[in-house]
Structure 1
C-alpha cells in the first residue's frame, strides 16, 4: 500500500496538470437566447477580463472544482485575464452571501460558479444584478440573458464507466476480479445529477452484459471520506469487485478502500488513476477545465450564447475516460479495444445514452 505522504504529493501533482479536452472540438449547435430581441452584450473581442471563480466548497477535491479552476488559470496564462478563486467552504448558508458580495462589488466582468447546490442562488442573483455576467457549470439555467450555463454529459461518460466496469468484473486477466457479475456505485448525495451518473453507469453495464447487477450507496454528502470508505468496504464484502466513485472529496475514502482490499475503482471528473495505480483502473473525465477555458475564450471573442445551456458530450470531447500510461499498463487489451469501439459509437450516434435529466430543463 502506498504511504499517505506519497498520495497527497500525487494529489498536488494532479491538481496542477492540464487535461486535454474539448477546446478544439466543434461545439453543440448554438441556441438563441430566450431574450432574442435584446441579447446580452458580451465584451468586445480581445477585451481584458477580470474573472472570479466562486467554489461552493473547497479546492483540493482532485475532481470537479479543481478541474474548473484549472480552466480559469489556463485563461489567465493564455489571455492575460486577471483571475481569482474564492472558496465558500462546506457551510451552504454562506454561499448566497458569498456570491452576492462578489456580484454587488462590481469588480468582476465574469463570475463563475457551479453545481446544482448554487443553481437557484445564481438565478436569483442574475436577476438582481442584470449587468453582471455569470458563467455556470454542472447544471442547467435557461432564459436568463446574463447567464451562460454548460454541462458535460455525465450520462454519456458514466455509460463508458459502466461498460468498463462490466468488462472488468469477470475479467480472467485481473486478479482482483471474481466470477460474480456485481459492480458498485457510490454517490455523494442522492440528487438528480448524481442519479444521472448512476443511470448512465447502469446503461453501460447492461449494454455489455444484461446479467450484471449494480449495488448503489450514497454517502449523504461529498466530504465524509470515512463514510465513503465504510460503504466501499461493505460493497467489496458483498462480492463487488469494482466501484464507480461519484462522491467528490469523500471519494478519496472509497478509492483507499479499493486499494486496501485489492479491488478496483473508477475515478471521476479528473484523472485519479495515479492515486492508487493498478487499483484505480480509469477515471471518467468531465473535461471541465477545457470547457471553462472554451467558454472564456468565447466571451473574449463576443460569441458566447448567453441565455442558454450547452451540453458537451463524447462527440464534443467534453467527456471521456482517462487513458494514461497506467491505464495502458493495467487494463487488458481486449477491454481497451472495446472501449474505443463504444466511444466511437456514442460519438456517431449509433449508441444513444438516455439522461434522467430529460435534456435541458426550461426554467
Structure 2
C-alpha cells in the first residue's frame, strides 16, 4: 500500500511540474501577429492607424511582436501568403476588402489562424470581429442635428456596401431622433482613398446649405473634412478622433475602437496561446464604439442629457438602431 501511495505522489509531483513548465513556456513565448492593412494603408488617420496603434500597445505592454503589409496594387492574397510563410501565430485581415483574399489563403493553410476585422467568415480557421457602427453613428447624428443651423446635414460614404450602411443609417436615425424635421443628404465616393472626390462631394453639399458633414470614407473622408474646414462648416470624423485634422471644424468623431479590440485579441493570444472564440461583436456596451470629446460647439445641459439618455437606451435595448437599408444587397 505504501508503494502505491508513494507512486501516486511521484506522478502528481511530475504532472504538477509539467503543468508549471507548460505555463512558464507559454508565458515566455514571444507571440507574433501579422496584419494585412486595408486599401488606404498606414497613415489614413482612421481605420488602419487605429489597428496599428492596438498592435503597438500590445508590443509595448505585452511584448507581442508584429509586422504589417500593405498592398497598393490590391494584391492582398500575395501579401497575406507572405505573412503565412513568415510564421505568425495570428494573421489579421483588416477590412471587408481583404475578405476574399484572406479566405482564399485560409483555405490553402487550414492550420493557420486568421482574424477578419469588419466582416464575417464561415471558415473554421478565420475568427470574425465586427462592430455596431450604427450605435456610435446614432450619437454623431444627434450631435449633427444639435449643431446644424440650416437644418441640413450630410453623409459621405466610401464604397456603397452593407458595412458603410451601418454608419449612414445610424447617423440618420440619431439625427431624426433629436430633430424629426432634419434633412439628411448622402452620397458615396466609390473609394476609400480619393481625397479629391471626397472634397468635391463636400463642396456640392455645402453649396446646398449643408452645414454639418459626417463620413465613413477613409482617406476620401479626409478630403471631406478639409473642404468643410475651408468652407467654415462643421464636420465629424470616424474610427479615430480626427479633431487634429481640422481643429476648428471637427466637432466630434465616431470612435470605432479597433485599437482596443486588436489589443484585447493580442492579450487573449498571449494568455491562451490561441483564440478559441469564433466571433466577436463590439458595440456601445462593450466600449467598441463611442463618441470622441465634443469640441467647437457648446451643448446645453438638456442636449448633453439627451445624448446620455439615448446611449443608455441603446445599451438597454430600448432604442434599436437601424443598420441596414431596405432592399440593400
Give the TM-score normalised by structure 1.
0.78
Q: 1:357 to 1:294 in 2, by over 3 A?
A: farther
Residue 248 of structure 2 corresponds to: 278
Pairwise CA RMSD:
1.9
Q: Are the aligned partners of 2:250 and 2:295 in contact in 1 as well (CA < 8 Å)?
A: no
Q: Which of 340, 345, 357 matches 2:308?
A: 340
Corresponding residue for residue 25 of structure 1: none
User: Do residues 96 (structure 1) and 96 (structure 2) align?
Assistant: no
Asked if 1:150 is matched to 2:120, the reply is no
Give the drift of 1:357.
8.7
Q: 1:340 to 1:215 in 2, by over 3 A?
A: same
Deviation at 1:127? Answer: 2.0
2:110 to 86, 108, 130: 130
The answer to whether residue 165 in structure 2 is matched with residue 195 in structure 1 is yes
Tell me the alpha carbon deviations over residues 93-150 of structure 1, each in whole angstroms, 9 at most, x when there is no partner: x1111112222x15211111121111122122222101111111111123x2322111
1:329 Cα deviation from its structure 2 partner: 5.5
Q: Deviations over 1:326-353 (max 9, x none)?
A: x256332343332222212212222121
Q: Give the structure 2 partner of residue 72 of structure 1.
A: 55
Name which one, 1 or 2, has greater alpha-carbon Rg.
2
Query: Cα deviation per residue 1:153-211 (whole Å; 9 max; x = unaligned)?
Result: 11111111112212211xxxxxxx33xx2110001111111122111111111211222
Return closer, same or farther for 1:316/1:304 CA change in 2, 3 Å cut-off. farther
The match for 1:107 among 87, 110, 130 is 87
- In structure 2, what is the Cα distance between the partners aligned to 1:328 and 1:202? 21
2:258 & 2:180 partners in 1: Cα distance?
A: 32
Q: Report if aligned partners of 2:64, 2:266 keep a CA contact under 8 Å in 1.
A: no
Mapped contact 2:93–2:114 kept (Cα < 8 A): yes
Q: 1:268-307 counterparts in 2 under 5 A?
A: 268-302=238-272, 306=276
CA contact (8 A) 1:141 1:308 kept: no
Instruction: Give the number of the structure with larger relative contact order, counting CA–CA contacts within 8 Å between residues 6 or more apart.
Output: 1
CA distance in 2, matches of 1:101, 1:85: 11
Q: Secondary structure at the match of 1:232?
A: helix
Q: Where in structure 1 are there 5+ consecutive unaligned residues?
A: 1-43, 170-176, 359-363
Give the helix-richer structure, 1 or 2: 2
> Would the aligned equivalents of 1:163 and 1:204 in 2 still touch at CA under 8 Å?
yes
SS class of match (2:99): helix
**1:320 to 1:162, Cα distance in 2 relative to 1, 3 A:** same
- Kindly state the Cα deviation for residue 304 of structure 1 after the two structures are TM-superposed: 6.4
Contact 1:146 1:306 in 2 (8 A): no
Once the two structures are superposed, residues 21-59 of structure 1 have per-residue CA deviations (whole angstroms, 9 ceiling, x without a partner) of: xxxxxxxxxxxxxxxxxxxxxxx8534211111113310
The alpha-carbon deviation at position 236 of structure 1 amounts to 0.9
Q: Which residue of 2 aligns with 1:313?
A: 283
For structure 2, the residue ranges without an aligned partner over 5 or more in a row are 1-24
User: May I ask how many residue pairs the two structures share in their alignment?
Assistant: 299
Equivalence for 2:146: 167
- CA distance in structure 1 between the partners assigned to 2:221 and 2:320 by the alignment: 28
Deviation, 1:238, is 0.6
Q: Which residue in 2 is equivalent to 1:356?
A: 324
Distance (Å, rounded) in 2 between the aligned partners of 1:95 and 1:305: 23
2:179 to 194, 209, 217: 209
